[in-house]
Structure 1
Amino acid sequence: MLPQLKPTKIRSLSSTINLNGTIFNHPIQQQSDVSLLVTKSKTINQPQLGNCISLDNVTYTKLVQSSTHSGCSTHGKLVQSHMVKTGHTPRLFLLNTLMNMYLKCNEPELALQLFDEMPERNIVSWNSLISGYTQLGQFVNAKEVFREARIENFSVSKYTYASMLSVCARTGDLELGKVIHGLIVLSGVGLDAFLTNPLVAMYSKCGRLDLARDVFDQCDGLDDVSWNSMIAGYVKGGLHNEMLQVLVKMHKSGVKFGSYVLGSVLNACCTSFDFCLTWGKLLHACSVKLGWDIDVIVGTALLDMYAKIGDLNDAIFIFDLLRVKNVVMYNAMIAGLLRGEDTNDELVKKSLNLFINMQRHGLRPSEFTFSTMIKACVAYQDLEYGKQIHAHVIKNNLQSDEYIGSVLVEFYSLWSLMNDALICFDSTTKQDIVIWTSVIAGHAQNGEYEQALVFFCELLSLGLKPDEFALSTVLSASANLGGVRSGEQIQSYSVKSGFIKSSVVVSSLIYMYAKSGDIDSANQMFEVADKFDVVSWSVMICSAAYHGCAREALTIFDLMISSGIAPNDVVFLGVLTACSHGGLVEEGFRYYETMKRDYGITPAEKHCACIVDLFGRAGRLSDAESFIIDSGFSQAPVMWRSLLSSCRIHKNVEIGKRVAERLIKLEPHASSSYVLLYNIYNDAGMGKHATKVRDLMTNRRIKKEPGLSWIEVGNRVHSFLVGDKAHPQSAKIYDKLDDVLAKIKKIGYIDEKHTEGLTVNHHSEKLAVTLGLISLPPSAPVRVMKNLRVCQDCHTVMKLISKVENREIVLRDPIRFHRFRDGVCSCGDYW
């Protein structure tokens, strides 16, 4: 049954109605309503009542229609009240007009009440109610009215069928659409263009383009809308060849291309560069010949097409050709300038100028405009301009938009302004998975890994389902924390949610296990993966390299090449790092030349740093210094820092002093340069010079970053500073450490002391390793993470502990992994 509503009382209003030139001051009675109108239409047949004059049906109809056209039901209600007071008996046509007025004025309850109490109905009544519900988006009610019409055996017209097909198209109800199609055939109405068009649209939107084409081919009286509907269906379905067939057939049939058809086809050309080169340019020529190239719709489609395939010259030509420009054109041009990997500062500046010109011409930027411009500020790294655009966003009251909020979070995260990023996050009304991923990634990028995991847990608690990119981001955070436990839990969620087959998630899992020191689990993930892309290969090569498994990294590289996957700059960075960490000097030089010669990859700063390290490992310190000067990266601190580390290894005071002085000029406030030079002097027995370096640090107020080490035991991460005694198990830790030190002294270890008198035996990594020894099962490896390079003494102690305790110890510092087994380290004592 139709939804039944209680009669709605019309409020007591006072109005002046001008009827045929006569002014009436007419108070509306409280009791006048739809049911009273229908009741009196059955019992009263008086031309006038009291002092009110009853009008004829034609006059009342015109007055109601006038209210319909205005979109305001107030005057229509006044007319209705006048009919009630005068006792006028409305005819069916007038009742249908009243019902239509209520529907057009968005008062379906009154329309339904009038419909239910009509003394008689005709097909117009049913059509009006169905059409009204459809236009108001009340599709369930529209379907129920159609069902009631069929039950009462009303012979519905083609207008009813057209309305119902529109309902099926908008709700995706294919089954009901097929039923209505069958009823059309059985009714013998005939498939003219009036019914063909909604049928084609319905089947297209329900994903059955084959049935849409059957209906299209069976129709004899095709019009412009028919062709447009069929072409639009193929465009939406991505069936470009079929779309072109219909387009050619349309041309042969003598039907002229309109702006809508050309716009749809040109939009389809944006999806493929080759498709654009063949058909896109041909249609461009056709639109010029027909004079449609300056049309707003066609011009915008042409502009968008050229911009999306990266043909900026033609895009700019079209943009300049169009005299009248709208927001969509500006958006397409701005997005085109910022699209692709070739975006440079000049293109970003042009996009910013377009944004300014857009406002000068009085156009109001849309949500897409603002989100694109903020992305431009991210690419251009312009904080002040980004803040100005953010101010425009607030001025236009768009700060709650989820797309703008997401890019604002990304923008402020880039500048490490996480408080501002969180304000933008909280201001967003609809916090979808995209903005959650942005805020998680922002914390991870700024080293706030624990906070990233907290936000991920909050995301899950809200019932949101993370996508593969969110999982990849949080796995990266777990990797940097060295938290295998949390990474394993995320892996379990990936398996449960079906994302474990995603190459992005698999690569992140490999990275997480490798970065957490579990290279064996990383290898297992790599072996069970269904498919590999260049990212998966590069992650595996780099992981093996940082774990000191140089030969394994090169073997993986050879497998990658044999699989037909071309290496990129990241892959070669992993290969060169493997050679550097593994002491494979000749192989490293050969791969460096192969990268340039065979793959045309220009060496970046990090590639050259690996070559410097290779020279340093071979003791060719002068060659390394010359290489830095000739590499084009002579102002890059990482190059000189690598050489300074080699000077420390080879105890070359002369070059070390020269390099340190240069490095200190480049980074006057970086403590690592001073510490390396201090160690060089100290190892060479030059105590006075070492003291001068320490005094220089004091005078310049440069403090060495405190060493911090952490280990994951159970569900907790335990952190330690040097000499730390804040841990609840501190007494046990120091007792066990003393016991272990006593054991390794028996096999030749001699402890040292700093000038301050603080023993190096209480360094943070030793405390963390000792906690692992007393807390983890004997078969479990002890994995410890450290924020600074491991010192020489701790490195020696770890080797000896691994021997006397028969335990595997994995220590990660900022440079690499040290894997200690049976008194030997994977780094070969070179780091």
Structure 2
Amino acid sequence: MFPEKSKLRDFNNLSNAIALSKLQTSNSLSRKSFSALAQAMPTPQQNYPHNCLQFSFDSVTYTKLIQHSVKSGSLVHGKLAHARMIKTAFKPCLFLVNNLLNMYCKSGEMGLAHRVFDKIPKRNIISYNSLMSGYTQMGFYEEAINVFAEARMSGLKLDKFTYASGLSVCSQTEDLDLGRMVHGFVVVSGLRDKVLTSSLIDMYCKCGRVDQARYLLETSKELDSASWNSLIAGYVHRNESEEVLKLLIKMHQLGMSLNPYTMGSTLKACCMNFNIPEACGQMLHGCAIKLGWDSDVVVGTALLDMYAKTGELNDSIKIFEQMPSHNVVMYNAMISGFIQTESIREEQANKALNLFSVLLGEGLKPSRFTFSSILKACRALEAFEYGKQIHAQICKNNLQSDEFIANALIELYLLLGSTEDSLKCFRLTPKLDIVSWTSMIAGYFRNGQYESALTLFHELLSSGQRPDEFIISNMLSSCVDLAAVRLGAQVHGYSIKSGIGSFRIVQNAQICMYAKSGDLDSANITFQETENPDVVSWSVMIYSSAQHGCAKYALRLFELMKDYGIAPNQITFMGVLSACSHGGLVEEGLRCFEMMKDHSMEMNVKHFCCIVDLLGRAGRLADAKNFILKSGFEDNPVMWRSLLSACRVHKDMVTGKQVAERVIALEPQASASYVLLYNIYSEAGLEALAARVREQMIDRGVKKEPGLSWIEVGNKFHYFMVGDRFHPMSEMIYAKLEELLEKIKKIGYVNERLVSGETGLGGNSVINYHSEKLAVSFGLISLPTLAPVRVMKNLRVCHDCHTAMKLLSKVEGREIILRDPIRFHRFREGICSCSDYW
């Protein structure tokens, strides 16, 4: 829209501009003439429209007014001049219209520019060039190409600026096919110019065809430093640092004049390739000083960035302090230098935050890169409150919708456990890329919100975007923790269909998913199909075999892994030690433990705990106790609790009491220790001591974690607790369970009393209605006859349920798979995979 012509201040400015333009049109204006001209200008008290319209302006005056508006950046003055032309029905010449068109293009008013363009009766090539340039600068590349095509169809002879604008669009959109077409037009036109050569080289470099750009440079006679800089920038973009240095040397040999941009690109190349000697960067630094460019913003920024990326932060700081002025790019390079390492030290992260405060204090406006870098520092420090303040600054600068910043905010809130805040950032991002989805899904997984991760995964599929291998890996891991084997198989099928099932990260997650869902056979098939399995593949398979009670198979895998030349790591040995512990292979386990020492491998408390469990299960309680005292982890309650569990298995009440007192003193609020001691006393028939333990729990406010079992049926999870009747099919479940109990009683099942010893539900022991029994009964009702019944439990399976499951698998002829936090129990034909050694 054009401005109102009644605005007094705007017309006053217009009058001043008119007087100035008239003064400039006549070089012979005397001081007296200037005074007369000033008197003729309207005063604020006069009627502005009437006085302004009494002046008669020609094309030269209007042109100078428009050019002055462009130069000063005052679009309102140019609009007022345009308005006056319309009101006075002035017929502008083509030169004036092109200036008017250029003014609107440079001001970003492309709608008005195109309206002016459409009204030009006979356009010349300058008209087309101006409109193309305007669209290109505003990022409207499709419109720019349409103007280019219209210019070709107009019959006008295109000049070098027309082709240069077309090539610029191809560079920005990385459209190689269109760029080659424009190149063909240039060749046919016979134009040979430095500008066009430089534009062609830039286009080919940005489209990834540096070889073609190099050929143009070597075969062209019309070259300038811009052509060389474009090619150097292309090699920098491809991380071909050696070629950059060779080009710099060739430029010097040919006598080409270097400039700060050439030096900046070359310095950038020096920190991208570790094969290039550090002295190269220092030599270039010396050249920059000799040429007087060390204080140049471009060169100075490249120097401090180079030293920061090569680990010479002190040199970066010196250059930063010596620069006469600082811009945002320099601050960004410095902040990035402090936080570029994977493990950011607290001191460096604090320096980055301090530098950000200085940037704000100097009145500079942070960029997208500034905010994304400083959020990384907040993540390193886990500075939640500071991160919120940065988030407020981002909103203040209206950058919250930027995908890079949004991803950084999502990761920050997820790291701090605030999934709600991260989801808000996720929902407010208008352009969600695959990184955003991956971060959010992985964040749900890290925070244990597996169902939310699955829901978001379905939403991703509905959005039409294609998940990558990292999302698929996370989804398979989520299926592991939810024990959703059916859903895991569907994700597996999708990975194969989408062509990413062959990624090793997906295959490793797939092995883990099938193994932890109770399907060791499918896990083994995936392992056999994996080409060149890495240490993770072997370790997952070994550990999974151990959990399923296949101790000897796990040891065979371990030996085979070493034969293939794969060096075992801590997780591998953890799997081997677990296998030995679950399989009762004491000597093999102790030998593997010594092997870790021989490899000087760092051992953690889990490795020591495996040895305690190994010795304890074998009945060597005294050896286990001495091992704890010599391990260096004698104050770790997990070690003592493992021994206490062994005391219960072997009914050693004396040692059990001593160990229980020790572990309760170390961890007074952990219910597991009290329960184990209670069971020791209860199974020994010492009801008074057992009752005393129960009283201690009540007095100290210690509550036993309730047992919870769940099963997946029909893409839905069904949860059960001991004796509950909340399930819609509870009547059928209890009826089925009573039927099953009667069947197994006929083949020798005897009800045992455990933990509480309470009775209820018609006089039967509560143990008859443990959560896993209810879940299995529901599975037998709901699942097809040939389908295995897979039940997961949050606590260890009790002895009575273990016995009942063996007998149920026999009388029903069904495979029952029961997973507790420690291991798997696979019941077939009355036999468990643990061989009753658990």
Aligned to 1:240: 241
How far residue 216 of structure 1 moved from its aligned partner, in angstroms, is 0.8
Mapped contact 2:244–2:269 kept (Cα < 8 A): no
1:775 aligned to 2:788?
A: no
| Paired residues for 1:110-189 under 5 Å | 110-118=112-120, 120-189=122-191
Q: Which residue of 1 aligns with 2:818?
A: 811
The SS at the match of 2:790 is strand
Equivalence for 1:209: 210
CA contact (8 A) 1:54 1:88 kept: no
Query: Within 1, Cα distance between the matches of 2:420 and 2:506?
Result: 29
Q: Give distance in 2, aligned partners of 1:73 and 1:395.
A: 27
Q: Shift of the alpha carbon at 1:324?
A: 4.5
C-alpha change, 1:434 and 1:176, in structure 2 (3 Å) is closer
Q: Which residue is 1:32 aligned to?
A: none
1:728 aligns with 2:728: yes
TM-score by length of 2: 0.87
What is aligned with 1:488?
Answer: 489
In the alignment, is the contact (CA less than 8 A) between 2:75 and 2:107 conserved in 1? Answer: yes
Instruction: Indicate the percent of aligned positions where both proteins have the same amino acid.
Output: 56
Contact 2:535 2:568 in 1 (8 A): yes
- Quick one: structure 1 residues 378 and 202, their matched pair in 2 at CA, closer, same or farther if it must change by over 3 Å? closer
SS at match of 1:783: strand
Call closer, same or farther: CA 1:647–1:459 in 2, change over 3 Å.
same
- The aligned residue for residue 68 of structure 1 is 70
Match of 1:795 among 792, 799, 802: 802
User: What pairs with 1:215-234 in structure 2 (closer than 5 Å)?
Assistant: 215-234=216-235
Could you say which residue in structure 2 is the equivalent of 1:606? 606
CA distance in 1 between counterparts of 2:387 and 2:126 reads: 57
Range with bigger deviation, 677-686 or 622-631: 622-631
Cα distance in structure 2, aligned partners of 1:78 and 1:363: 34
Q: 1:435 & 1:606 partners in 2: Cα distance?
A: 35
Matched, 1:55 2:54: no
Alignment of 1:92-103 (within 5 A): 92-103=94-105
Distance 1:178 1:138 in 2: 20
Offset, 1:288: 5.2
- Looking at structure 2, the residues matched to 735 and 586 of structure 1 have their Cα atoms a distance apart, in angstroms, of 48
Call closer, same or farther: CA 1:636–1:287 in 2, change over 3 Å: farther
Letter in 1 for 2:274: F
Q: Report deviation, 1:531.
A: 4.6
Amino acid corresponding to residue 225 of structure 2 in structure 1: D
Q: CA deviation at 1:358?
A: 4.7
Secondary structure at the counterpart of residue 97 of structure 1 = helix
C-alpha displacement at 1:370, in angstroms? Answer: 4.0
Shift of 1:230: 0.7
Alignment of 1:827 onto 2:834: yes
**Residues 1:23 and 2:24 aligned together:** no
Checking the alignment, whether the CA contact within 8 Å between 1:736 and 1:770 is kept in structure 2 is yes
Alignment-derived partner of residue 752 in structure 1: 752
Kindly indicate whether residue 469 of structure 2 is the aligned counterpart of residue 473 of structure 1: no
Question: Is 1:733–1:767's contact at 8 Å kept on the other side of the alignment?
Answer: yes
Alignment-derived partner of residue 34 in structure 1: none
Q: Secondary structure at the match of 1:572?
A: helix
Paired amino acid for 1:588: G
Q: 1:645 to 1:307 in 2, by over 3 A?
A: farther
| 8 Å CA contact retained: 1:370, 1:404 | yes
Given that 1:656 and 1:677 are in contact with CA atoms closer than 8 Å, whether structure 2 keeps it comes out as yes
Q: Is the 8 A contact 1:708 1:788 kept in 2?
A: yes
Residues 104/674 of structure 1: CA separation in 2 closer, same or farther (3 Å cut): same
TM-aligned CA distance change 1:263 to 1:141, over 3 Å: same
1:42 counterpart residue number? none
TM-superposition CA deviations, 1:758-798 (whole Å, max 9, x none): 43111111111222233333432221100111112112222
Instruction: Tell me how far 1:10 sits from its aligned partner.
Output: 7.6
Distance 1:634 1:327, change over 3 A: farther
Aligned counterpart, 1:38: none
- Residue 287 of structure 1, CA deviation: 4.2
Alignment partners' CA distance in 1, 2:800 and 2:551 = 25
Q: What is the letter of the counterpart of residue 590 of structure 2?
A: F
> Are 2:682 and 2:690, in contact at CA under 8 Å, matched by a contact in 1?
yes
**Residue of structure 2 in register with 1:689 after alignment:** 689
1-side partners of 2:581 and 2:317: how far apart? 48
RMSD: 3.2
Match of 1:36 in 2: none
Cα distance change on mapping 1:380 and 1:803 into 2, 3 Å: farther
> Residue deviations 1:687-717, cap 9 Å, x none?
2222111111111121111101111223322
Equivalent pair of 1:54/1:86 in contact (CA under 8 Å) = no
In the superposition, relative to structure 1, how do residues 442 and 101 fare at CA in structure 2: closer, same or farther (>3 Å)? Answer: closer
* Cα distance between partner residues in 2 of 1:336 and 1:626: 50
* Shift in CA distance, 177/353, structure 1 to aligned 2, threshold 3 Å: closer
Question: Which residue does 2:505 correspond to in 1?
Answer: 504
Shift of 1:721: 0.7
Q: Which moved more, 1:341-350 or 1:622-631?
A: 341-350
C-alpha contact (below 8 Å) 1:266/1:301 kept by paired residues: yes
- The code of the aligned residue for 2:78 comes to G
The 3-state SS of whatever aligns with 2:275 is: helix
Offset from partner CA, 1:590-636 (integer Å, 9 cap, x none): 323333433x4211222222222223233333333333344333333
Native 8 Å contact 1:52 1:85 kept in 2? no
- Cα 1:121–1:591 change in 2 (3 A) is same
| Distance 1:796-1:117 versus aligned 2 partners, 3 A rule | closer
Q: Which moved more, 1:292-301 or 1:811-820?
A: 292-301
- Report the CA distance between 1:245 and its aligned residue: 2.3
Q: 1:317: how far off?
A: 5.7
The answer for the alignment partner of 1:742 in structure 2 is 742
1:272–1:309 contact (8 Å) kept in structure 2: no
- The Cα of 1:819 is off from its aligned counterpart by 1.7
Quote the residue 2:635 is aligned against.
635
Report the AA paired with residue 602 of structure 1.
E
2:715 is matched with: 715
1:291-324 Cα offsets, whole Å, 9 max, x none, are: 5455443343344344445555655565566565
1:765 aligns with 2:783: no
Give the equivalent residue in structure 2 for 1:268: 269
- In structure 2, stretches of 5+ residues that fail to align are 20-36, 760-764
Amino acid at match of 1:639: M
After TM superposition, the score normalised by the length of structure 1 is: 0.88
Deviations 1:358-407 (A, max 9, x none): 55555555444444444444444454554554555556555544444444
Is residue 769–residue 784 contact of structure 1 (8 Å, CA) maintained in 2?
yes
Question: Equivalent residue of 1:818, what SS?
Answer: strand
- Using a 3 Å threshold, how does the CA distance of structure 1 residues 276 and 288 change in structure 2: closer, same or farther? farther
| Structure 1 residues 731-784: Cα deviation after superposition (integer angstroms, max 9, x where no partner) | 333333233333333343321234322431111111112222333334322211
Question: Is the Cα contact below 8 Å between 1:54 and 1:87 reproduced in 2?
Answer: no
Amino acid at match of 2:232: I
> 3-state DSSP class of the match of 2:41?
strand
CA distance in 2, matches of 1:291, 1:584: 74
**Structure 2 Cα separation of the partners of residues 451 and 50 of structure 1:** 69
Gapped runs of 5+ residues in structure 1?
1-7, 30-48
Q: Distance in 2 between matches of 1:292 and 1:541?
A: 60
Q: Is the 8 A contact 1:802 1:823 kept in 2?
A: yes
Q: How does 1:324-473 map to 2 (within 5 A)?
A: 324-359=325-360, 363-390=364-391, 392-393=393-394, 398-473=399-474
Q: Deviations over 1:69-103 (max 9, x none)?
A: 23344333433454456665543322322232232
Aligned to 2:24: none
**CA separation in 2, counterparts of 1:551 and 1:323?**
71
In the alignment of these two chains, the number of paired residues is 803
Matched to 1:768, the amino acid is: A
Q: Aligned to 1:819, what secondary structure does the other structure show?
A: strand
CA–CA distance in 1 between the matches of 2:635 and 2:368?
42
Task: Tell me the distance in 2 between the aligned counterparts of 1:608 and 1:369.
Answer: 46
Question: In structure 2, what residue type is equivalent to 1:94?
Answer: L
SS at match of 2:821: coil
Q: Is the counterpart of residue 647 in structure 1 residue 659 in structure 2?
A: no
